Structure 1
Amino acid sequence: MLCTWMFLLIVLPALFNFSFSRADTDENTATYASRQRETEWETWDLPQKQVLDSFYTLYPIYRNSHAYDTSAPSTRRMMAYYELVSQRMQRFAAQTAASRAQDIQLIRQSYRYNPAIYTQSLLNSVAHTDIADYAYFQQQTALFRKHWKSFLYSYHFNDKKFGADDYRSLPVYHPSYDPDSRQQQIKGICYLLLLATGYY
């Protein structure tokens, strides 16, 4: 019995930690930073009209009589430039996100046979710091960022002045947590109790 618990609580978590450790984390970070610089330079070298066309393809509502104003006072080209860089980097980051999602799925599938990792995950879930809450947080902040940009773009690209009264209509971010976390916590606690009492 002691050997079984040692395997479940020490050996198995160590094996999982070893298999999911990313030895190339620093390399991936450096690669991402290098790719971002290259993307910024490549996008900067594009013709201004092409950059603006790319932006208006995403946001056709802002294509008006001043759509291609690239004079010194106009910041349309810069706004379009940063939007295009962001879109290109999102496509690049999606590859890493897909790989990370696969790792997370494998970890979740191991909960039944890995009580140490499951317990740690439940504690993180109670504190709202586990991978599910983080993924939900990323999703919610991405939606808010999109809402925030849409709000500001409506002023900027329509040459609308931002007045004192407009502060009342600024988008507000309301933090929230994964709505399924409570159900997962109850399920996990019941499983661990059954495991501790020898009924599982």
Structure 2
Amino acid sequence: MDSARSDTRPPEAPPIVALKILIAGGFGVGKTTMVGAVSEIRPLRTEEHLTEAGRGVDQTAGVEQKTTTTVALDFGKITLHDQFALYLFGTPGQDRFWFFWDDIAQGALGAVVLADTRRLQDCFAAVDYFERREIPFIVAVNCFAGARRFRVEEVASALDLDPGTPVVLCDARERSSAKEVLIAVVEHASRTYAGRRGPEER
């Protein structure tokens, strides 16, 4: 495993900085999968089976094989470069759980909006949420088998992203790919916050 463990770090090493990252996006886009793929601890999951009560409420078009849904959050952790401990919070994707987002988002450094090009409209709400609250985010296109591939510029245009918002391609099932996404959001958030500070504060 390439993640650092606290009990193997030399005594003189600087303390690890804890950072909170949100993983958001539409229903069935791969949030739980990404957290599970990259977490160095056993991830906390709050999944429940879909029931008849959710029929007509949960939009399962395109993900008909999905049988469970996150009803609160997913939680995981990964250490990057022996410097940063990223605490990952996967948000629920359905509209009826959005009231929970404000609590989850408190103190977040940045966010990843996972997107499925077959259902790109499903991530509009997450994009709007983070833009309105000025939380730095990137869009990570989860490349599902059989889905049409688009250039990142096309995705950015379709989502009407603000200039400078990164779009990356990924496979949420692969640890290395998910890790690159997290590195990208930390770097983007660092640049964003540095740009908001005045020269005398840098």
What TM-score bracket applies, with the shorter chain setting the length? under 0.3
- Structure index of larger Rg: 1
TM-score by length of 1: 0.27
* Larger relative contact order (Cα-Cα within 8 Å, sequence gap ≥ 6): 2
Answer 1 or 2: which has greater strand percent. Answer: 2
